[in-house]
Amino acid sequence: MKKIIRLLIGEPKKLFTPFNLISGLIVLVGLVLIGIRLAKGLGAVTNLSQTTPWGLWIGFDVMSGVALAAGGYTLATTVHIFGLKKYEPLVRPAILTGFLGYVFVVLGLILDLGRPWRMPFIMIFPRGVTSVLFEVGMCVAAYLTVQLLEFVPAFWEWLQWDGLRKFWGKLVIWLSILAVVLSTLHQSSLGSLFLLAPTKLFPLWYSPYLPLFFFVSSIAAGLSMVIVESSISHRLFSYRLSPSSHFDLDDLTLGLAKGAAVVLYVYFFLKLIGVAEQGSWKLLLTPYGYLFLAEVLGFVALPCVLYTIGVRSRNVKLVRFTGAWTVIGIIFNRLNISIIAFNWQLHPHYYPSWMEITVSVTLVTMGIWLFRWLVNRLPVLSQEKPQVGTNTFKEFMAESV
């Protein structure tokens, strides 16, 4: 019995840390708000209106969530398809981050849908097959499954089911290819969604290249997210690494930064082509134009330069800062397109209610909890016996604490 409790919640004494208390409070409030939303409808907690049907839960939870969860497929491609094996230690945490990201994207979506119980029917009666949203829905559902399949080897290792683990090793390349195909499709389709709003989205952001922008920027977001996530988890969970399996995280971080810089350069010039194609240079000198410049210069061009400097001078700290900066920039871009520059002619403009924000924070917090819970039990950060805790069920049972 004691063992089961320890498996589920760890040391009960260590449960009441400041982080747990504060995040617990947020989640508690968030759960109450979710209850109100489910009982009384979207209007009870959100600032959504007849002219602004999509708010923070789509703009942040879904649009930004999907982009930031792109680390899973970018790293899996790097390691399993392009064969850059030295990044292998980062793959599993990246896939876990991606998988949990998508889980909470779907949860956020369920809260935002008016009639979520109808969701399975898009697969049972696929009627809107030419709808962009249909493509997004099907790909997200399929990719969620693929990510689960990519992550389960950690469970097989925990259970020490070696036969199954070996079999899964053979699937890895195909799962990676599926991940790339599905990600290409839905990352870009999230951009395509806004092609139907030429009169509502500010012309600087509206472009026929929106799908391309979303896809390319998701790669930069994914790589930057892995830089950030690996740096944080290797600091916080250093005890979960095995003493013998030290790999040079700084070296890997610089390598990822190189990739991210190249992608961001491409993305920057694509954005310029986008403006040229629409012929909207003049609009740069309007208030929304300044916002656009802030995004493209401050959060695309600047990180390009910073990444380059960081890689050249092997300044890992700068690279990590740039990683976080890029992540913020991608969120900024997704919020601009789906909320801030959307319905730009509308007064008063939508802004999220504190309740919407709390629910979004709640979802992120629960994602972090789940990440921590799994990292502390399964062989995620390192496949060998860690300094503290155990990586397999057998070891856990044998441990006498």
Q: Could you count the other beta carbons within 10 Å of the beta carbon of residue 124?
A: 6
Interface size with other proteins, residues (CB under 8 A): 67
Which of these segments, 123-131, 245-253, 310-318, 319-327, binds other proteins (CB under 8 A)?
Answer: 123-131
- How far is residue 196's CA from residue 368's CA, in Å, rounded to a whole number? 35
| CA quadruple 106, 107, 112, 117: dihedral sign | positive
- Residues numbered 30 to 59 that lie near other proteins (CB under 8 A) are 38-44, 46, 48-51, 53-54
Question: Contact with other proteins (CB under 8 A): which of 21, 173, 273, 305?
Answer: 173
Which of these segments, 134-142, 144-152, 248-256, 385-393, binds other proteins (CB under 8 A)?
Answer: 134-142
Asked whether position 357 contacts other proteins by CB under 8 A, the answer is: no
Identity of the residue numbered 334: R
- How far is residue 24's CA from residue 22's CA, in Å, rounded to a whole number? 5
- Say what the alpha-carbon torsion angle 374, 396, 241, 233 is, to the nearest 10 degrees: 20
Q: Considering beta carbons, is residue 168 or 267 the nearer one to other proteins? A: 168
* Close Cβ partners of 262 (under 8 Å, ≥ 6 residues apart): none
Q: Considering beta carbons, is residue 54 or 325 the nearer one to other proteins? A: 54
Q: Considering beta carbons, is residue 72 or 386 the nearer one to other proteins? A: 72
Asked whether position 273 contacts other proteins by CB under 8 A, the answer is: no
The helix-helix angle for 132-151 and 162-192 (nearest 10°) equals 160
Question: Contact with other proteins (CB under 8 A): which of 165, 200, 372, 385?
Answer: 200
- Give yes or no for a contact between 378 and 237, defined as CB atoms under 8 angstroms apart: no
Question: Contact with other proteins (CB under 8 A): which of 34, 193, 311, 375?
Answer: 193
DSSP string for 277-338: HHT-GGGGGSHHHHHHHIIIIIIIIHHHHHHHHHHHTT-HHHHHHHHHHHHHHHHHHHHIII
Q: Considering beta carbons, is residue 164 or 324 the nearer one to other proteins? A: 164
- How far is residue 382's CA from residue 89's CA, in Å, rounded to a whole number? 7
Q: Considering beta carbons, is residue 343 or 365 the nearer one to other proteins? A: 343
Asked whether position 180 contacts other proteins by CB under 8 A, the answer is: yes
Asked whether position 130 contacts other proteins by CB under 8 A, the answer is: yes
- Residues numbered 61 to 120 that lie near other proteins (CB under 8 A) are 77, 80-83, 112-116, 118-119
Question: What is the binding site for other proteins (CB under 8 A)?
Answer: 38-44, 46, 48-51, 53-54, 77, 80-83, 112-116, 118-119, 121-122, 124-135, 137, 169-174, 176-178, 180-181, 184-185, 188-189, 192-200, 208, 211
